[in-house]
Structure 1
Amino acid sequence: MFAKPNLLRGLLLAGTVATLTLGAAAVARADDKITIVVGGYEKQIYLPAKLAEGLGYFKDEGLDVELLNDTAGVDAETEMLAGTVQGVVGFYDHCVDLQGKGKFVESVVQFSQAPGEVILVSAKHPEIKSAADFKGADVGVTGLGSSTNFLTLYLAQKAGVKPNEFTTLPVGAGATFIAAMQHDQIQAGMTTEPTIGRMVKSGDASVLIDMRTVKGAEDALGGTYPAASLYMPTAWVDSHKDTVQKLANAFVKTLKFINTHSAAEITDKMPKEFYGDDKDGYVKGLDAGKGMFTADGVMPEDGPKTVLAVLQTFKKELQDKQIDLSKTFTTEFVKNVK
């Protein structure tokens, strides 16, 4: 038998309402699914990303966050600009650099106030005693156009070595960086923990320039140098403020955890593969460098000027344009965290 007209209309209406309800729920779920690419999430400088996940702070905010791993910040930046991810955990200096190219992205949570990086020198090359000795050398960086590349070029130029007088070689981080130095593909290089600790412990390298602390950054770079951050396209931030606030809530809570717990307690919350068979070394490295992290996610007041000054040393496009630093970061969300 056929359904009566009124009954049929009722069934169709109910089906339509159900479809719209399911569609709205799907949109809500999609809006709360955030993909963030991390420029090497095993690096201690980007520790807040995996720590927030491990502590369950994303879920506490009702967010479904997927963290993707990439070995170099410049590649993470490319993915964000292509629209395949919503944000990047990487160095703030990309926000300044991109504005010089007419692209607007901003740090929404500032993780650190120092790079957390060092220049290591191979034990095979004791003749390299300062950045002035980079002339003619191959110096390892995570990637060309990466923050390690920016900083290496600056340190060399500050020491009187021009970019065309040495080579920056993209060798990634971790195992690839270690192999490059062991095989003499690079004579020096910029890297972070836990790679630093492994190479110093093995005797393969020693620290030449140390930027793991605020003082170290000030000595090397001339001021506070905000580095690791969560940065996102400004247009996306402006159109997804509720979601960005939830991310800020989770990350500020994570930064407070870092600042109120020991390196050993933090390490216990990290994936075991991050420290492998050398948990003590991981803890030691974190203990020495965790002072780089901010306590509240707020951009250090004098930091952006230092970053711009460093980049302008060797980037002509930033010398020729008026950069509006106020558009490279926001404190709106971190200051709203309760």
Structure 2
Amino acid sequence: MTFCFKLLLTVFLYLGCAVAYAGEKISIVVAGIEKQIYLPVKLAEQLGYFAESGLDIEFLTDRNGINAETELLSGSVQGVIGFYDHTISLQARGKLVKSVIQLTQTPGQAILVAEKSAKEITSLKQLKGRSFGVTGLGSSTNTIIRYLAQKSGVQSNAINILPVGSGDNFINAMMQGRVQAGISSEPTISRLTSAGRATVLLDLRGIKETQAVFGGAYPAACLYMPNAWVTTHRNEVQKIVIALVKALNYIQTHSASEISDQMPASFYANDKENYVLALKNSKEMFTADGKMPEGGPETVLKVLRDYDKSLYGKHINLNNTFTNEFISNPK
């Protein structure tokens, strides 16, 4: 076999593999892609970091984290951009998934009280008998309010917890009086507070506030995938993680205004100035490098165990719920 023929054969095989590889679509669902807690995903896409990876990735959006989890379990998607607590609750049900990169170290959310109820609800205890809005039953917002209510001496079943979604749906539920309070993220928080339509009862955007409430870092937004898929698609996972790490680095090295300039105008909800201010005030929620915050998994497990009966008597191996491997080996 001549050298030229060997060379042509090698090139042919390489190109053939590349075409086949490029044709493998990876679907990832985001629990509300317009939410600032998930900003690194859209930012990485806008900056071309995913395109650089050579992967064929499609991002779907579902504003309810529990729906995103269901899509993952059905096999219709390969990953979820959602909250880390799902990896623990799923393990309790015998489903092994893990966070391959941690995007935030706080929930990035706040408990809001509607303007009309501000005088009657000045503490978590006063949520008793009230209607409270969450994105969905079984969602991370539902997890947090149930834990905080119980911590304040109020049984969660004493609160009328309603699934109202996020964004405009959440705002409408509050404005129409269907809920007197609720938990949401940016830019919804600032849209309501800047217009004087709601006040913040409890802030979970900052690091200090989060540690005061939960007793430590509370890892939230992440990319979680089935452990089996991660094992058999290590190269793809690595490339996705690299793109998201680049986005996290961009957030650390650029102003809120510069970051916002990269986002689609539709994300601003017709108020870019407010969007920029909201991001400026909550940028610290993002991790610097994508690593799981030390002690974070233990904090989340404690929160879940305090009220979630599905975890009672269950052994949870936290080492199977996350990995820093793809962060520690970026190449």
TM-score by length of 2: 0.94
User: What is the aligned partner in structure 1 of residue 7 from structure 2?
Assistant: none
Give how far 1:200 is off: 0.5
Distance (Å, rounded) in 2 between the aligned partners of 1:311 and 1:265: 37
Shift in Å at residue 197 of structure 1?
0.6
Instruction: Give the superposition deviation at 1:30.
Output: 3.3
Percent identical: 55
2:261 is aligned, of 261, 264, 268, to 268
Identify the match of residue 83 of structure 1 among 61, 64, 75.
75
Counterpart Cα distance in 1 of 2:135 and 2:52? 34
1:289-308 C-alpha deviation (Å, 9 max, x unpaired):
11010111000111000000
Give the counterpart letter for 2:224 in structure 1: Y
Which residue in the other structure is 1:49 paired with? 41
**From 95, 105, 111, the counterpart of 2:103:** 111
> Quick one: which amino acid aligns to residue 107 of structure 1?
S
Are the counterparts in 1 of residues 65 and 82 from structure 2 also a CA contact under 8 Å?
Answer: yes
Partners of 1:24 and 1:286 in 2: how far apart? Answer: 42
Larger C-alpha radius of gyration, 1 or 2?
1
CA distance in 1, matches of 2:162, 2:71: 22
How big is the shift at 1:25? 5.3
- Aligned counterparts of 2:329 and 2:226: Cα–Cα separation in 1: 20
Q: Kindly report which structure 2 residues correspond to 1:1-338, keeping only aligned pairs within 5 A, or say none.
A: 27-31=20-24, 33-125=25-117, 126-337=119-330
Cα distance, 1:28 vs structure 2: 1.3
Which whole-Å CA distance do the structure 2 matches of 1:285 and 1:21 have between them?
47
Over residues 31-57 of structure 1, what are the superposed CA-to-partner deviations in whole Å (9 max), with x where a residue is unaligned? 3x2111000011000001110100000
DSSP 3-state at the match of 1:60: helix
Q: Flag the 1:266–1:224 CA change in 2: closer, same or farther, 3 A.
A: same
Displacement of 1:29: 2.2
Name the count of aligned residue pairs: 319
Q: CA deviation at 1:170?
A: 0.4
Distance in 1 separating the partners of 2:187 and 2:269: 11
1:313 shift after superposition: 1.1
Structure 1: where are the runs of 5+ without partners?
1-19
How much does 1:187 deviate?
Answer: 0.5
Answer yes or no: is the 8 Å Cα contact 2:37–2:108 preserved in 1.
yes
Deviation of the 1:263 alpha carbon: 0.3
Q: Secondary structure of 2:116's match?
A: coil
Deviation track 1:89-112 (CA, whole Å, cap 9, x = no partner) reads 000000011011110000001001
Aligned partner of residue 103 in structure 1, secondary structure: coil
Looking at structure 2, the residues matched to 266 and 158 of structure 1 have their Cα atoms a distance apart, in angstroms, of 37
Deviations 1:117-153 (A, max 9, x none): 0000011112111111111011100000000000010
Paired with 1:285 and 1:163, the residues of 2 have a C-alpha distance of: 30
Moved more, 311-320 or 262-271: 311-320
The code of the aligned residue for 1:63 comes to: L
Give the TM-score of the pair, scaled to structure 1. Answer: 0.92
Cα distance in structure 2, aligned partners of 1:333 and 1:229: 13
Q: How far apart are 1:317 and its partner, in Å?
A: 2.0
* Equivalent-residue separation in structure 1 for 2:175 and 2:245 (angstroms): 39
Q: 1:277 Cα deviation (Å)?
A: 2.4
**Where does structure 2 lack aligned partners over 5 or more consecutive residues?**
1-12
Q: Deviations over 1:294-329 (max 9, x none)?
A: 111000111000000001111122121111001000
Inter-partner Cα distance in structure 2 for 1:44 and 1:234: 27
For the residue of structure 2 that corresponds to 1:333, the secondary structure is helix
